[in-house]
């Protein structure tokens, strides 16, 4: 059970840490508007794009660390993502922080992107197994 929880927590920490780091870099580089201004559509699209890629990576990590049932663990990360993104959408809905489609997109993509990360681990896992069998022969 501890390894299962750790696998999901590791995925959450990876996604939150890397997305926060990318946010900070893009703000510092002037790609995003200053922190005190609302996110525009272009910034939201960019943020969504890299969050999807990073979340697929986080789900792959979760699946890779899972002691068993990698896809189940990846989808558990997706459920955590749905909960966190929903809470964020509710908390910021009327604050004028950016386009309303953006937080809804984070909720909607949470499960599919984590499924993709689980699928990647399954694909690479079968390749690793095949390579190990070939090396053993």
Residue-wise pLDDT tens digits, 124-137: 887 666 666 667 66
The pLDDT of residue 67 is 93
d(C-alpha 86, C-alpha 65), whole Å: 26
Please check whether residue 133 lies inside any domain of the structure: no
Q: How many residues does the chain have?
A: 137
Within-domain flag for 109 = yes
Domain-located, residue 132: no
**This model's pTM is above 0.75:** yes
Give residue-wise pLDDT tens across range 54-99.
999 999 999 999 999 999 999 999 999 999 999 999 999 999 999 9
- Range of 13's domain? 2-127
Say if CB 55 and CB 113 are below 8 A apart.
Answer: yes
Per the structure, the count of domains in the chain is: 1
In a domain, 136, yes or no: no
Nearest to 14 by CA among 72, 70, 53: 53
Q: Is 22 inside any structural domain?
A: yes
Tokens of 4: 């299962």
- Inter-residue contact 109 to 59 (CB < 8 Å): no
Q: Which two tokens stand for residue 99?
A: 């386009």
């Amino acid at each position: 059970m501890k390894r299962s929880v750790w696998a999901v927590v590791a995925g959450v920490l990876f996604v939150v840490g890397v997305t926060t780091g990318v946010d900070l870099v893009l703000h510092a580089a002037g790609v995003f508007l200053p922190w005190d201004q609302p996110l525009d559509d272009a910034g939201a699209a960019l943020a969504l794009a890299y969050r999807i890629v990073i979340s697929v990576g986080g789900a792959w990590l979760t699946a890779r660390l899972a002691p068993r049932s990698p896809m189940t663990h990846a989808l558990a990360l997706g459920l955590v993502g749905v909960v966190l993104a929903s809470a964020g959408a509710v908390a910021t809905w009327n604050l004028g922080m950016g386009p309303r489609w953006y937080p809804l997109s984070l909720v909607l993509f949470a499960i599919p992107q984590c499924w993709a990360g689980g699928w990647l681990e399954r694909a690479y896992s079968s390749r690793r197994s095949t390579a190990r069998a070939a090396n053993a022969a």
